[in-house]
Structure 1
Amino acid sequence: MATGGPRDRLLQLERIERDIASSIQSAGLALQELSKEKPIPKQVESHTTLFLKTLQEVETGLTSQIQYLTQVSTGQPHEGSCYSAQKDLQMAYHRLEHVKSRLAELDKIRLEHLRQQGQMIRSYSLPEVQPHSQ
């Protein structure tokens, strides 16, 4: 199973979902045949074989998906993932806002101190930084 982009991953998951439905259907047909008064052994065997084969494909597909998710969730950069970069950007904006609020608090304290001393007050303002659209 090739590792592709998000669209490929979704298509693979859809295929796994169809395989799950198919395996349930095969199991149901095998049980239905077994519930008959005179089951046909070849039919039961055919449905059971198809069930087991499809179940193996589901297991292989899910294992591949889980391995992919394990790689993505470690935070290690890898092909096709931008999560780490997005998280870094988000944290940088958070730190920027925190620094701006602290500087505003310090400026407020400075102005209050100057007022108490009756000195001429000079105010500074920080330029507004707009976060990029994601």
Structure 2
Amino acid sequence: MASSSAVERLQALESIEKEIAAVLQNAGLAVQELCKDKPNERQLDRHTGQFLKSLQDVESGLSQEINYLTQVATGQPHEGSSYSAQKETQMALHRVEHAKKRLADLNTVCTQGPQQ
């Protein structure tokens, strides 16, 4: 399950990367049209519109990914993560080892107590 989530995340990032390329291409085409002696306003408007749409798609996609990363980094529950469960298990094992050590120390004190 976690691997499919990772694949989906990578696909989303790849889609954002393609949109960034579209942003750059449309910006270049708009600038290229502006550099002409007589720019075609229809072409310029089309390239500018595509640039703005692609830019909005990039912003939206990056915002979604940032929100996801914020959830992961703050420890909030999220799909596909087992980090909090692993951390809780690790802490529980640490507490068990600590309790064993304390009991062993107590046992040592109890067994040595009557000898002294």
Aligned-residue offset at 1:37:
1.2
| Residue aligning to 1:44 | 44
The residue number in structure 2 matching 1:58 is 58
Indicate the residue corresponding to 1:131 in structure 2: none
Q: Could you report, residue by residue, the CA deviation over 1:97-127 in whole angstroms, capped at 9, with x for unpaired residues?
A: 8899xxxxx8xxx9xxxxxxxxxxxxxxxxx
State the identity as a percent: 59
Query: After alignment, is 20-29 or 74-83 more displaced?
Result: 74-83
Runs of at least 5 residues in structure 2 that lack an aligned partner in the other structure: 109-116
- Structure 1: which 5+ residue stretches go unaligned? 101-105, 111-134
Residue 87 (str. 1) matches residue 87 (str. 2): yes
- TM-score scaled by length of structure 1: 0.63
**Bigger mean CA deviation after superposition, 31-40 or 83-92:** 83-92
Q: Deviations over 1:23-71 (max 9, x none)?
A: 1110000001101111111111110000000101111111111111111
Shift of 1:94: 6.5
In the alignment, which residue of structure 2 is the partner of 1:11?
Answer: 11
Q: Greater CA radius of gyration, 1 or 2?
A: 1
Higher-helix-fraction structure: 2
The alignment of Structure 1 onto Structure 2 pairs a total of residues equal to 105
**AA at the equivalent of 1:64:** Q
TM-aligned CA distance change 1:83 to 1:45, over 3 Å: same
Compared with structure 1, are the counterparts of its residues 42 and 92 closer, same or farther at alpha carbon in structure 2 (3 Å cutoff)?
same
